[in-house]
A and B are shown apart, each in its own frame.
Chain A
């Protein structure tokens, strides 16, 4: 018993060291910084609550918080819904080899930097960009898409859609085919089977996909900045602004800690909802 647990501990050790060195220690350091004092553009170790009260007491912080939370939630929902038909057909309607190629091509976008892809969208979405040029041919537009919430959403799609489709495809592929057929067999139409059987069966994977989308978009800086026009600012833009204006690293740390706390709660709630057993 003692030997086996020591053995297990040895294998767990690299992960523990990694998590301690690159997650726990910086987090503790950041928490400490949030109580430090900035004097003449220099940080001094201290224990003051002013950074917290200044940030949490300001309207602009809460405006940024709610817009970030709203956009990330909307992105998680919308992107999950957009991904579902694609994942459904990849999981059920195509052959094994097509599925394998599709998964491969869904990974390909990650070869290039997300920043590059966001820049590419500027060309497409701009006032005199590709989309408006095409729409102009049929007498529509021009529409303002760049520097809007819509633009940011396009960026979020670029960032997370392939990942969400891959996660959903795997979880849908894992659904027992016999259960799907059993539903049809009991008089459930294929469309209704999606709601009655497939979604409940694949719940864990679908929620994990949405959580990933939420996490990535909640902390994203590129899309809201380059495509969303940074007005209103999201929390990540707020962090940049705070550090730029007067070296306010402690206040930026406050924002970052609130973000981490939010992500932590969201991820925890979602994962426990996903794995909730239905036993009464």
Chain B
């Protein structure tokens, strides 16, 4: 039996899209549905039975100060890390892009150095940070002491710990953003700069605003989405350096999820946190694509 051309092309489509779709349904959609169902139970990890508790877990989340703390901390962390690491990533990329024209060897060495934090295992790096930031033995505070300053407890001072973690977060993502921006810069055709110069945009500042920045639009959008989801998902530094402490001062959403589920064994409540987090990231991503995409020049 011969199939018509149209039905053959439909079959090809299914053959191409099918496996990935199946994998997505099995590995993402079904687990999300199970987690969503679990968030309406009081299931305890390893327990033999559970009860349906309706919206109870979500009500607790809204009223519990610990949960609110985790949400605020995540937002503060993201509000610092997202703009700072995008801005610094762009500055470094612009610098290296120009440097590469004069001393390509030196520039590529620097590029590798900036990229190192991305390639290194964060957990191992966390140990290094811990040693650097130790309140009395750490290199940083020893230097401060040599200058006659008493350094603070970077990771165990309640008012400071979140900002210390944010700086580590920036350090970690600047390299990645830089590489993306460098790729974006390399793709800008040089005749655009010539044209801009003819039109009177002579100064570096003008060239940046009229050519570089608009042409980097798609890259910036992508970098923003990547950095934002990364910042909302912050976990490793919290888990290895502070365990959310002292007194929940560095508790963030993903760590709270882990703690409730795997340390406190409250799988139901942890699922509710997961669903809220999932919706939050979904919302941010949708907003960004919905609003920003319209203002980005792709061509």
Query: A and B bound?
Result: no
Chain B residues in contact with chain A, CB under 8 A? none
